[in-house]
Structures are given as C-alpha cells and as structure tokens.
Structure 1
C-alpha cells in the first residue's frame, strides 16, 4: 500500500484540516456525486463547494448517528473476524493521481494481506442484497472502489447495522473496469472546476439547496426570463398539482381497499402499510420501499 498511496494525515471528518486536504481533490464520498449516483450530493452542489461558493453540508442527525455507531460496528466486525487486526487509519492520496483522496473507516491487516473496512448504518435496506455478496447500494460501491483504487488494495469489507439492529457484512473487490470509469469521471469533473465550467442545474435536492444559497438576498427588481423557462416552470407547477391530486386519490383507494388491514400486497410483494397517526389522528398510508437491483458502477455510469 505504501507504494500506491501517501498518507496525508489523520483528521476528524468534516474538520478544517480534513476539508483542506480534499479541497483540490476528490474523496470517496464525493465520487458518487460526480457520477450522479449520490442521494445526498449532486454534481452541481459538489462543483460549487469545490469552488468555495457553497458551504459544506451542516452536521445533522444522520451524520451524528453514523459517527457514534462507527466504533460499535467496528468492534462487532472485529469480534466476528479475529483473523484481522482492525485499526483506524488516516487520509490518503494516490501517488499516481494525487487528486484521488480516500479516508477509509478502518484498515484491516492479516497474514494474507491488507483490506479495508467501510462502516455504514441503514434505515432502508431495499438497495442492499444478500449478506456476504457485493450487492451494496451503487453509491457506496463507488465510494469503496474509489478507496481501494486510491490505496492500491484489492478487497473491502462493508459492515452495516440496520434499523432493526441487524449486523450485515458484504465484500467488494477492486475492479479495473469500474476503477477506470471512476478515474475518468473524477478527472473530467475536476477539470470543469479548473475551467470554471458550471454543471447544468438538475432535479437533485442538493442542487435546489445550493441555488437557494447562492442568492440569499432579495432585491426589489424585475428580472426578465426566457419564455421557454417560464413555460417549463408553469407546466411543472401544473403537473405537480395534478400528480399530488392523483396520489391522494390512489392513496384513498388503497386505504379503502385495506379496511382495517395493515399491509397492501400484490403477489406477496408489499406495496404499502397503514401506520398509526399522531395523537388522535387516524392511520395513514406509507409506501413500501421498492427493492432495486444492485448495480455496478460501470453500468450506472
């Protein structure tokens, strides 16, 4: 590993030093956004953060939960795998591509060689496949492959604790074809940052948040916009209202069909579930997660 990567230091994720080390490069948690795969970050929002035009994501409950449970899950993994020495590691950069940065959760050492351990928590397991396989959500797969490629390692274990306190393990092996997709996409993205080529606005929630951040003030002036944009906005508003009305009607029909039942199913597949209302409110309907087929990074890109 020492020949493939150089250790930059050990800093807490989100600290000023950690952010500085990643400012001109790409970390494992960022490459999924470059590919348009991240649920939390868009290419647009990441680009603006790299340019210093948008603030880093503020700390939230999910982040705090992950930090607090990380040590517990690492200890759980160590207890299941006495063949490994499980230890903390720092932030690394590839010797061949210094802009490729990784901060794995743990480094695993054994007689057979070294590996990585990535630690996750999951409230929704729809995108997770059978334990023991490599069927992890594609954005996590991109992160793990990026870390392996940065450090020059071949295997990563992914340990996840679900909302039901179930401990699961997955194994992801380095793959050259997928690694090359990541390298190419990462380099092209950083080139757009250097050339000041802003990505297009997309439908991602992170993009919407950043656009709002970019213009915090309100000046009492009129701004002429393109007729095509005005038409698209009006059409989207109308379609949203129609979709909300259709959803409300379909929800009412499912509730009516359920009666006092709890779950709506089709051919054994859960479609929706009735959940108690708050206080004196009657039960409401919550859609069941749609189980997706695990993807490879090359296929998703």
Structure 2
C-alpha cells in the first residue's frame, strides 16, 4: 500500500459514477440541511433499511417531505453525537498511523447523477493510486464484539451507499471503541448489495415524491416517533375502519399468545438448567464452560432509600414526562 498518487493531499474531483459536488464542505448548516432533504444519505439508507435503532423509516420520510418532527429529548445521545464529531480528527490520525494511508477531509456533499442519492464522506484516502472512502465512528466499549470481525451491518450499508454515489471500489471503516481501541476494516464494493439498496431507495423515494406515508413498521424507533408526534392528544374519539382495526387487534392477540408460549418455553429451559447446576456456580460440558448460575448483588431500591431518609419527600418534582398507554378493550374478536 502507498500514500502517494493523484490524490495529492486533497480529495479527487472526479468520480466514476458521474457524481458532482453540490455543496462545499464548509457550507452553512442551513444549506446542508436543505440539500439533505433532496436526497438519501448514507445514514438515511441504514434507517430506511430498518437498521437504525433510534431513527425509523417513517422519521426519514417526515424529514424529506419537510414535515416537522418533535425532537428526541435524549441528552446522552446528543452528547454521543457531539463527541463523535469532535473525535473525528483523532480517529483519522489513528487510521493513518495504523495503515500508512492518507485521510483527508471529504469534498462536501456529493450527488449521484441519476438517483436521489447524496453522500457526505468523513474522509477520503488513496490506496495504490485509487481513491476510497474512510468512514469514522466512535463507539462505547459495549460495542466491541460488534466490530471485531467486521463493521456492523448498518455501517456496511452506509459505506456501500457511499461507494454507489462515488463509483469507487473500496472503503475503510475506522472505529474508536471505548476511547481506547481502534479497529480498521476494509470493505470492497458489493454490486449485489448496492443493487438491493437501489431497489429499496427507489421504493422509498417514490413515497417521498408522492408524499404518501410509508407503512408503519414494528420497530421501537417508529413507536418512539409516534409517541413524540402524538404526545398531546387534542380529541377524544376517532372513528376508524372496523376491518383494519379488528384485523390489527387479532394480530396483536396472536402475537401476545406466541410471546406467552415462548416465555413458558424459555422459563422451562432455564429452570431445568438451574436444576442441573444445583449448588454449583459453573456448568461444564466437553471441557468448556457451558453456562453459569452465580450470585450477584441485589438491586438498590432508590425510591425506598429516599423515603427512608426523608419520609415526607414529595415525589412529584421527580416525575418524568407523561406518556400515553395503549389499552385494548375489544379482546375477544
């Protein structure tokens, strides 16, 4: 591998796909958000594929059609995003130290010539005279196992999207794990995956252009979005289509029965494993630790502790935001 060639210390201006730079890297934030509404970016693709635990396809659709969505109130996620951006120069430096390859700033916002695809590359590199994408991530130590062998699927989708936009043949992902360990993976262009993403993107963008809301899916992200969108009801009753509602209620009842059966099977298996362990903490099979049943400290009840310290404590100032609860009244359909 080498770090010299046509890159010349700055991003290349030609892309085999025919992509063009439509917004400079230092453009105002308002311009950047405006351009993002006109196409699908890498993180958008991961979300519409159902791979983002925090952002649903429905939320992406709202953003593309220009409909406001209540902001998620999560200081922890906000801090993680802020620190991830702040750490990018450090992660890029580690990439160069580990690989000997350049990692220069991305060129700005790229647009594919024939598809509603855009890309904002974290960094650009060059290997054997050919340009490539460098995607930088910062993750907690809990994510280590997800990165050991290869990047998580959502990151692979994001990177393949960038390769589709640029027309380039490879990319590197660089993950700083727990602030202590840097993992680098090289990904080659995957034409089959890119074709699948193109089909998904075409269907989704059709919903954007027609302003037809995509189907509601079963993700937690969609549930959280609906909670935010409808946190403050303004009317008591809506008359809905009986056929649709009754079918959904039946589906819900069947799912609850299947969950209950699965929970019984799970508990039976766990109880039998506990019986085998008996008074032992570890169970071995074929010379290896198969499972353990070890003591652990009990959980602390902070509510009990607080009331014991101050029996007159008023809990109301500590109450969280109000939520809406879904309760079914037609159980026998």
Q: What TM-score results when the alignment is normalised by the length of structure 1?
A: 0.74
1:138/1:68 Cα in 2 relative to 1: closer, same or farther (>3 Å)? same
RMSD of aligned alpha carbons:
3.6
Q: Which has the larger radius of gyration?
A: 2
Given that residues 280 and 293 in structure 2 are in contact (C-alpha distance below 8 angstroms), is that contact kept between their aligned partners in structure 1? no
2:196 aligned with 1:181 = yes
1:61-72 aligned at under 5 Å gives the runs 61-72=79-90
Please list the CA deviations of residues 191-210 of structure 1 after superposition, one character each: whole Å capped at 9, or x if unmatched.
Answer: 11111222221111111122
- Equivalent of residue 81 in structure 1, options 87, 91, 99: 99
Q: Distance in 1 between matches of 2:233 and 2:292?
A: 42
- Supply the distance in 2 between the matched residues of 1:118 and 1:67 (Cα, whole angstroms): 12
**What is the alpha-carbon distance in structure 2 between the residues aligned to residue 137 and residue 273 of structure 1?**
31
**Could you list the per-position Cα deviations for residues 80-124 of structure 1 after superposition, in whole angstroms to 9, with x for gaps in the alignment?**
233x22222243323423621111211114562322211123332
Q: What is the CA deviation profile of residues 239-291 of structure 1, one whole-angstrom value per residue up to 9, with x for unaligned ones?
A: 66776787778778877848684x7787757767866555589xxxxxxxxxx
Counterparts of 2:83 and 2:272, CA distance in 1: 37
CA separation of 1:90 and 1:112: change in aligned 2, threshold 3 A = closer
Instruction: Check conservation: 2:148, 2:183, Cα contact below 8 A.
Output: no
CA distance, structure 2, for counterparts of residue 66 and residue 253 of structure 1: 45
Question: Equivalents in 2 of 1:269, 1:154: separation in Å?
Answer: 43
Give the whole-Å Cα distance in 2 for the aligned partners of 1:229 and 1:45. Answer: 22
CA contact (8 A) 1:88 1:106 kept: yes
Q: CA deviation at 1:187?
A: 2.3
1:292: which partner in 2? Answer: none
- Partners of 2:151 and 2:143 lie apart in 1 by 12
SS in 2 for 1:60: helix
Pick one of 106, 114, 117 that aligns with 1:100: 117
User: Per the alignment, in what secondary structure is the counterpart of residue 133 of structure 2?
Assistant: strand
The aligned residue for residue 45 of structure 1 is: 59
Give secondary structure in 1 for the equivalent of 2:143.
Answer: coil
Q: Give the aligned partner of residue 125 of structure 1.
A: 144
> Is residue 6 of structure 1 aligned with residue 20 of structure 2?
yes
CA deviations 1:179-199 (Å, max 9, x no partner) are 222223212211111112222
Distance in 2, Cα, partners of 1:91 & 1:57? 27
* Gaps in structure 1 of 5+ consecutive residues: 282-301
Matching of residue 25 in structure 1 with residue 39 in structure 2: yes
C-alpha spacing 1:266/1:178, structure 2 compared with 1 (3 Å): farther
